[in-house]
A and B are shown apart, each in its own frame.
Chain A
Amino acid sequence: MGRPTLVCGPAGCGKTLLAMEFLIRGITEFGEPGVFVAFEETVEELVDNVASLGFDLQQLQDDNLLVVDHINIAPGDLEETGSWDLSGLLVRLGAAIDEVGAKRVVLDTIETLFGAFENAAILRAELRRLFSWLKERGVTAIVTGERGDGTLTRHGIEEYVSDCVIVLDHRVSEQTSTRRLRVLKYRGSLHGTNEYPFLIGANGVSVLPITSIGLQHAASMERVSSGVESLDEMLGGEGLYRGSSVLISGTAGTGKSTIAAQFCVAACERGERALYFALEESSSQIVRNMASVGIDLARWVDEGLLQFRCVRPSLLGLEAHLASMQELVSDFAPDVVVLDPISDLLHSGAGEEVFEMLTRQVDYLKSSGVTAVFTSLNNNKDAENSDQQIGSLIDTWLMVKLAEGDGRRHRVLYVLKSRGMAHSHEIRDFELGVKGLQVTGVYHPGRVSA
């Protein structure tokens, strides 16, 4: 409160939006009117730009809660003759603050003044005066600045605004971009020093701190059926814990998606909601394919209990994926979420980041009490190792494989681990028939299949 904050970063990192949201939230959530001084964009441009995020600047201006003032600086058309000061700006700003009783002020981007005035010495002295004047007025200010070469801002205004500095960044790795935010400095406060990914979505800026979700979710004692009776039997006879996370690993064509789909159907039959994130197939393709093994998904889609979200992993950055999933989860409020397959995400970013993102997704779903099913495609030889890292996050880990014996291939399934229950250690045969998935007997290579 009452202090200036510097938001700096390269072009296009979201400085203006962050600053604008600061004002708008101030008005709508804290009853603090604001003043936005734009040195670069015109009022009309700003109104248009933030309208895409659902902010109605015009309305706020009409309600006398916000002043958006565009200060037009045409560089080079001023002749400087002797000493001057920035009282004109101060008077103008003061009038705008008084007009709405503003408590918050944004100056975006004050550094453009350096392009307008020749005498940088006077300008620096005047900026110092401006910031102390803002403090005296008791307004909380955000000042934005473009990142310079080796300095936080091009003209070193961090020198004047030294209470709080937020650095934004926009990085591209593996062809997907992630925005990041870091609080470099915040006097008089214990602040997180990490870089946090953030997104500009339909609801403005959202920061998703990796570490914000603690391991404090309550563990449910309730068990839910996996939709396959014999599989439930293998899982201590009662099925999965509600709110647990399940990983189904296996090679191509072993029936991972089928198990996941069956699980969705079981949830819908209980009157619960299921959300299916498909990263490889379209929803109609999944519905058709599942119908071929007797799993009727269309019915539950029609009833509104099952929702598909099909998107290529490369369409969005990892953060954007996570955020869009979380948004959908909080909108649809499902009891079961399927993510099929997570191995595809590995192609959308570096392995470590995928793991981090999945950790947060698992934590998020757990803390919301949602039972989560992930599938993972891997090669036969090294299935257990390749999913080892993610496997440690997971409560119940099922492995599906194709085994050869008796002159044919068998689908086999076993429970690699299942926390908190006495699960079966058998390797079971299963079939994908017209009634869905059926676990038959214990797999035995010498046994003559019935």
Chain B
Amino acid sequence: MAEKAAGPEAETWHLRLYVAGESPKSLAAFANLRELCEEHLDHPYEIEIVDLVQNPKLARGDEILAVPTLVRRLPAPMRKIIGDLSDTDRVLVGLQLRAKQEP
């Protein structure tokens, strides 16, 4: 399941979304992620979905405890964002697309 958006000659973002089965949270996270990438991301990107129920061993690789977890594998540094990604502002902060707002 890969998505590509046309864009300038920028680096391709590799995003990996860890879920556990097709739970409402997983589906919500995926929908939120797509929407967010379309709206806010100028780079080409790939989204990879990893279902831990089918591949339990993969949880070790990225030290996944909570699901859903979004991992930005590229560009470095690696970033992890957990939750159903419903809080768009915080996702953008997590992906370093927006500076953390001062309270």
A interface residues, Cβ below 8 angstroms from B: 69, 71-73, 77-92, 94-95, 113, 116-117
Contact A79 B60, beta carbon cutoff 8 Å: no
| Closest-CB distance, B66 to chain A (whole angstroms) | 5
Question: In the complex, what residue of chain B is closest to A94 when comparing beta carbons?
Answer: B56
Give Cα A79–Cα B85 distance, bound, in whole angstroms.
Answer: 10
B interface residues, Cβ below 8 angstroms from A: 18, 20-21, 25, 28, 52-53, 56-57, 59-60, 63-69, 79-88, 90-91, 93-94
Question: In the complex, what residue of chain A is closest to B90 when comparing beta carbons?
Answer: A81
Give Cα A116–Cα B91 distance, bound, in whole angstroms.
Answer: 17
Contact A88 B90, beta carbon cutoff 8 Å: no
Give Cα A329–Cα B52 distance, bound, in whole angstroms.
Answer: 55
Q: Could you list 14 A-B pairs, sorted by A, with CB under 8 Å?
A: A71-B65, A78-B66, A79-B80, A79-B81, A80-B82, A81-B87, A81-B94, A82-B85, A85-B20, A87-B52, A92-B52, A92-B59, A95-B56, A117-B66
Question: In the complex, what residue of chain A is closest to B84 when comparing beta carbons?
Answer: A82
Across-interface contacts of B86 in A (CB, < 8 A): 81-83
Contact B90 A84, beta carbon cutoff 8 Å: no
Give Cα A364–Cα B45 distance, bound, in whole angstroms.
Answer: 73
Closest 5 CB pairs of A and B: A79-B94, A95-B56, A82-B86, A87-B20, A82-B83
Give Cα A73–Cα B68 distance, bound, in whole angstroms.
Answer: 16
Given the known interface contacts A71-B65, A88-B66, A91-B59, the answer about A83 and B25 at a Cβ–Cβ threshold of 8 Å is: yes
Contact B56 A71, beta carbon cutoff 8 Å: no
Contact A78 B67, beta carbon cutoff 8 Å: no
Give Cα A73–Cα B91 distance, bound, in whole angstroms.
Answer: 20
Contact B83 A83, beta carbon cutoff 8 Å: yes
Contact B80 A81, beta carbon cutoff 8 Å: no
Contact B67 A79, beta carbon cutoff 8 Å: no
Question: In the complex, what residue of chain B is closest to A117 when comparing beta carbons?
Answer: B66
Question: In the complex, what residue of chain A is closest to B66 when comparing beta carbons?
Answer: A84
Contact B67 A85, beta carbon cutoff 8 Å: yes
Interface contacts beyond A73-B63, A84-B25: sample of 18 additional A-B pairs, CB < 8 Å, sorted by A: A69-B60, A71-B65, A72-B63, A77-B79, A78-B66, A79-B79, A79-B80, A80-B90, A81-B88, A81-B91, A82-B84, A83-B83, A83-B84, A85-B25, A86-B65, A87-B21, A87-B66, A92-B60
Question: In the complex, what residue of chain B is closest to A95 when comparing beta carbons?
Answer: B56
Give Cα A116–Cα B83 distance, bound, in whole angstroms.
Answer: 14
Question: In the complex, what residue of chain A is closest to B60 when comparing beta carbons?
Answer: A92
Give Cα A90–Cα B18 distance, bound, in whole angstroms.
Answer: 14
Contact A84 B83, beta carbon cutoff 8 Å: yes
Across-interface contacts of B18 in A (CB, < 8 A): 88
Partner of B85, one of A69, A77, A81, A92: A81
Contact A78 B52, beta carbon cutoff 8 Å: no
Partner of B82, one of A72, A79, A94, A113: A79
Across-interface contacts of B57 in A (CB, < 8 A): 95
Contact B83 A81, beta carbon cutoff 8 Å: yes
Contact A78 B60, beta carbon cutoff 8 Å: no
| Closest-CB distance, B98 to chain A (whole angstroms) | 11
Contact B64 A78, beta carbon cutoff 8 Å: no
| Closest-CB distance, B82 to chain A (whole angstroms) | 5
| Closest-CB distance, A166 to chain B (whole angstroms) | 26
Give Cα A88–Cα B91 distance, bound, in whole angstroms.
Answer: 20
Give Cα A80–Cα B21 distance, bound, in whole angstroms.
Answer: 20
Contact B87 A71, beta carbon cutoff 8 Å: no
Given the known interface contacts A79-B91, A79-B94, A94-B56, the answer about A84 and B68 at a Cβ–Cβ threshold of 8 Å is: yes
Give Cα A89–Cα B90 distance, bound, in whole angstroms.
Answer: 23
Question: In the complex, what residue of chain A is closest to B54 when comparing beta carbons?
Answer: A91
Contact B60 A91, beta carbon cutoff 8 Å: no
Give Cα A117–Cα B60 distance, bound, in whole angstroms.
Answer: 18
Give the one of A71, A73, A87, A117 with max B CB within 10 A: A87
Contact B83 A80, beta carbon cutoff 8 Å: yes
| Closest-CB distance, B32 to chain A (whole angstroms) | 8
Given the known interface contacts A88-B18, A91-B52, A95-B57, the answer about A71 and B83 at a Cβ–Cβ threshold of 8 Å is: no
Give Cα A77–Cα B93 distance, bound, in whole angstroms.
Answer: 12
| Closest-CB distance, B17 to chain A (whole angstroms) | 12
Across-interface contacts of B20 in A (CB, < 8 A): 85, 87-88, 90-91
